[in-house]
């Protein structure tokens, strides 16, 4: 329901209760959870922790965290070297029964002392950055799950566990600001801490909290080795169920058209409410099991994309499938044939959400497999000598979330801090949306003006371009340049597009798909559109 694909989830072998989100953008985000988190929390509590981390993804906190980590590494690197030497000095070895190496320990201690100034400065920086963002993420988790007791319960268990959120890793200092709860053994005062006090965090969620944490038995190491596999699978499935329902996006309630409030789009971006969460879960359950299963397999995900692009007419389908044999292996052809009837009759509102579900599986392809998939997809789109809005939208969504994964490139730098130099690009993209969603000249002009008005006084100078000057290719170039603007400017453009699309009080599925794709390219994901009263 957040408007972004499901991130990969990794397991950290640590008995504490902790988690983190990392990545440069929502398209390459990952979430990590500790073994203790998986074993000691209930399903609802684990879901709340995931929602907390997902809030960091949606709000761009992880990008700031990554940058902060880079800065802090240089500041605290001397102390980190000292900690590593001290740990090596105390390791057991076959030549020394005690495993203690005094000279090395002394050297490490001296280095730690000299590096303490860097640690002090680093913690001040992390504390200034982290506190308010953690409060906001806690509140967002309650909003996403509608279960304040689950969020409070997870925090209380951390407080009642002897190890709390402590991570046994020498590099925990550099990344401590990224975690769900502080990952260090101690902090020199609250103002130096990377996270607010647990008591304060719980009290903000649970007004009846009396300041006492229930004692939680530590996770035994032998339990992890013996029954960890089955328990991990059970909890992973629970987490996966939540993440799957949380990443559905670009859908609508109602029929081919619906009434809506454009103002709600800007407000709801990155803030999916209960209606979006509930509807996303319901739509996911309505999908055919074959389609859902295919979305979670690399081969099936490829076949699923092809099945959604192939013609619905039996004759056209067989002809395209025969020609497809020259581009794909037989296994993909067979799977495509099986999935096509289900894909052809599925609710059109579920197409883009299904694409989102398939993206993590498509990321598991090898580079050669991805190149072949891209070539085949392009051939299918161009095979009928025309491109419809779904084909265009599908290509853009896949390109945004897959291309940089297989062909890493530098993220575009922020070039624009003012909308003024981007006004010509705004004219192009607003004109394109106005022409696509409205047939007659008067309604097209009205839609354009509604969107331009969102840019205040500057919007009055924008002119509606003829259709020949705002084709999909022209809009591509426009959105590529707009993506180099600051986040508030990009959100302002998305708001203007929403008003253009909804100028007539209705939005079609095709318009919604296109708006979702462009918002995604501008890194402003849109949750499900809920019909307004």
Q: Which of 45, 53, 173, 174 is catalytic?
A: 53
| H helix runs in 252-313, sequence order | 263-268, 274-286, 289-295, 298-309
State how far the Cα of 138 lies from the Cα of 158, in Å rounded to an integer: 14
Which are the contacts of 186, defined by CB distance < 8 A and separation ≥ 6?
none
E-strand spans in 194-288? 257-259
User: Which among 45, 377, 521 is positioned nearest to 239, based on CA atoms?
Assistant: 45
CB 347 within 8 A of CB 432: no
CB-neighbour burial class of residue 231 (10 A; exposed 0-12, middle 13-18, buried 19+):
middle
Q: Which two tokens stand for residue 517?
A: 């794709």
Length of the chain counted residue by residue = 533
Tokens representing residue 436 in the block: 């696509």
Burial class from Cβ neighbours inside 10 Å (0-12, 13-18, 19+) for residue 30 reads middle
CB 438 within 8 A of CB 495: no
* Eight-class DSSP state of 22: E
Dihedral over Cα of 137, 138, 139, 142: its sign: positive
In the residue annotation, 513 being an active-site residue is answered as no
Q: Pick the closest to residue 101 from 83, 111, 93, 78 (CA basis).
A: 93
Q: How far apart are the C-alpha atoms of 444 and 467, rounded to whole Å?
A: 11
- Decide if 359 contacts 398 (C-beta within 8 A): yes
Q: Phi and psi dihedrals of 262, rounded to 5?
A: -60, -30
Residues known to be catalytic? 53
């Amino acid at each position: 329901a957040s408007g972004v694909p499901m991130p990969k989830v990794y397991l950290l072998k640590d008995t504490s209760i902790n988690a983190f989100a990392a990545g440069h953008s929502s398209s390459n985000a990952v979430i990590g959870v500790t073994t203790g988190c998986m074993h000691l929390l209930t399903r609802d509590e684990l879901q709340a922790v995931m929602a907390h981390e997902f809030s960091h993804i949606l709000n761009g906190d992880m990008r700031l965290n990554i940058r902060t980590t880079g800065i802090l590494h240089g500041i605290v690197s001397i102390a980190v070297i000292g900690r590593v030497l001290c740990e090596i000095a105390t390791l057991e070895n076959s030549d020394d029964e005690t495993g203690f190496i005094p000279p090395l320990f002394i050297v490490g201690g001296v280095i730690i002392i000299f590096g303490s100034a860097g640690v002090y400065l680093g913690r001040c920086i992390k504390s200034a950055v982290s506190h308010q963002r953690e409060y906001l993420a806690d509140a967002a988790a309650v909003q996403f799950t509608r279960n304040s007791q689950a969020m409070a319960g997870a925090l209380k268990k951390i407080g009642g566990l002897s190890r709390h959120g402590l991570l046994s890793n020498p590099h925990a200092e550099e990344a401590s600001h990224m975690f769900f709860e502080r990952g260090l053994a101690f902090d020199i005062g609250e103002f130096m801490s990377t996270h607010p006090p647990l008591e304060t965090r719980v009290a903000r969620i649970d007004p009846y909290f009396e300041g006492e944490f229930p004692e939680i038995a530590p996770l035994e190491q032998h339990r992890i080795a013996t029954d960890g596999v089955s328990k991990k699978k059970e909890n992973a499935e629970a987490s996966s169920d939540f993440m799957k329902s949380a990443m559905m996006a670009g859908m609508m309630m109602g029929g081919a058209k619906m009434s809506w409030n454009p103002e709600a789009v800007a407000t709801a971006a990155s803030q999916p409410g209960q209606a979006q969460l509930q509807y996303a879960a319901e739509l996911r359950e309505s999908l055919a099991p074959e389609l859902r299963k295919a979305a979670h397999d690399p081969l099936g995900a490829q076949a699923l994309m092809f099945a959604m692009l192939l013609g619905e007419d039996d004759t056209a389908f067989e002809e395209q499938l025969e020609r497809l044999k020259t581009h794909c292996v037989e296994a993909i052809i067979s799977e495509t044939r099986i999935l096509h009837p289900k894909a052809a009759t599925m609710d059109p509102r579920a197409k883009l959400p299904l694409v989102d579900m398939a993206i993590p599986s498509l990321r598991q392809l090898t580079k050669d497999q991805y190149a072949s998939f891209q070539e085949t997809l392009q051939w299918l789109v161009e095979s009928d000598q025309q491109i419809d809005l779904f084909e265009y939208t599908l290509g853009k969504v896949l390109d945004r979330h897959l291309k940089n994964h297989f062909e890493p490139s530098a993220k575009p730098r922020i070039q624009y801090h003012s909308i003024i130099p981007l006004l010509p690009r705004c004219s192009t993209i607003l004109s394109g949306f106005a022409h696509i969603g409205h047939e007659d000249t008067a309604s097209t002009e009205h839609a354009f003006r509604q969107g331009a008005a969102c840019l205040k006084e500057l919007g009055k100078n924008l002119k509606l371009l003829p259709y020949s000057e705002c084709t999909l290719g022209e809009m591509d170039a426009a959105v590529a340049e707009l993506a180099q603007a600051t986040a508030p400017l990009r959100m302002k453009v998305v708001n203007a597009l929403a008003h253009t699309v909804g100028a007539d009080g209705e939005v079609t599925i095709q318009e919604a798909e296109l708006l979702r794709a462009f918002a995604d390219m501008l890194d402003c994901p849109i949750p499900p559109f809920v019909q307004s009263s």
